[in-house]
Amino acid sequence: MQLSEVIERLSLDVFAVAGEVDVAVTGGISSDLLSYVLSAAKPGDLWITIQHHENVVAVAQVAGLAAVVLADGRQPSDGTRERASAAGVALLGSSETMFEVGARLHGLLAGDR
């Protein structure tokens, strides 16, 4: 499923977008441990986290993730937002918990197959 459709279907806030929003979302990962995401994420994953340290942007970039969703209403700092814009990493937000966002994403991707 394309990222633009995921954003629409999950009603995600957009804090920063990559130049090209319509990358394919092929899976998902939920974790607040950046070392775990670095080792376990697959390119194309949508990363759901409440971690909003600036390093999140670099990890998303290195791991080739489709986008990052800051769950539970977490707001990125200006620094994190600017870094995401500069790096071309889509930084999104949801007022729902990680559990809820993950469940809904899983439903979307399962229905897409």
Partner 1 sequence: MSPRRIAHTAAEGGIDLIAIADHNTTAMVDVMAEAAAEVGLGYLYGIEMQTREEVHLLAFFDTAADCHGLGSAIDRLLPERPNRPEYFGDQVIVDLDEEIVDREPRLLINSLDLSFDDAVALVREHRGLPVPAHVDRAPYGLVAQLGFPPEGLAFELVEVTGGSLPGGFAPAAGVCFSDAHRPEEIGRRTTVFAIEEISTSELALAARRIGGRSVRCREQERRET
Q: How far is the CB of 50 from partner 1 (least distance, A)?
A: 10
C-beta closer to partner 1: residue 11 or 77: 77
Q: Is 110 helix (H, G, I), strand (E, B) or coil?
A: helix
Residues of this chain that bind partner 1 (CB under 8 A):
32-35, 37-38, 51, 53-55, 58-59, 77
Between the alpha carbon of residue 82 and those of residues 65, 76, 88, 94, the distances in Å are 18, 10, 10, 19
C-beta closer to partner 1: residue 41 or 101: 41
Q: How far is the CB of 37 from partner 1 (least distance, A)?
A: 8
Amino acid identity at 52: H
